[in-house]
Structure 1
Amino acid sequence: MSISKKAKGVAKTAEGKTKETAGKITGNKDLELKGKAEKTQGRARKTVEKGKDLLEP
């Protein structure tokens, strides 16, 4: 599939990890949870794109 879609997944994962870490450091649970959610979204997007690659002829 598209490299840009995979890159968006990787970027979303990195952004989520950053927010999660910032939330842990500052003690902000909302930011930490938001970061975990974004990280999960990024991983899911990347996994979907890998799956599409496997299904392409």
Structure 2
Amino acid sequence: MAIDDKAEAKGDKLKGKVDEVIGKVTDDESRVLKGKAEQAEGSIKDTVADAKAHLKDTADKAHDDRRDDTNTP
């Protein structure tokens, strides 16, 4: 799931960059702003994906540690 989240974030950033560049070339300020907003959304999604992955790793480690503690005589 984290890979899907990261891919979606990357897609948002790329789409935003394209919209920003097209907006600059066509002198369309609203498209420039839309592109920057899409890039920001992609960055937020990327950060959330990283946090989710970190939390999952931490939870998995805690679960494994707890399992090890219950199996120790």
Task: Mark yes or no: TM-score above 0.5.
Answer: yes
Q: Tell me which of the two structures has the higher relative contact order, counting C-alpha pairs closer than 8 angstroms and 6 or more residues apart.
A: 1
Task: Note the aligned Cα RMSD (angstroms).
Answer: 1.0
8 Å Cα contact 2:6/2:45 also seen in 1: yes
1:25 and 2:51 aligned: no
Match of 1:35 in 2: 35
- Aligned residue runs from structure 1 range 1-57, under 5 A: 1-56=1-56, 57=59
Matches of 1:2 and 1:37, distance apart in 2: 22
Matches of 2:52 and 2:5, distance apart in 1: 11
Matches of 2:54 and 2:38, distance apart in 1: 25
8 Å Cα contact 2:16/2:34 also seen in 1: yes
| Unpaired stretches in structure 2, ≥5 consecutive residues | 60-73
Residues matched between the structures, number: 57
Report percent identity of matched pairs: 37
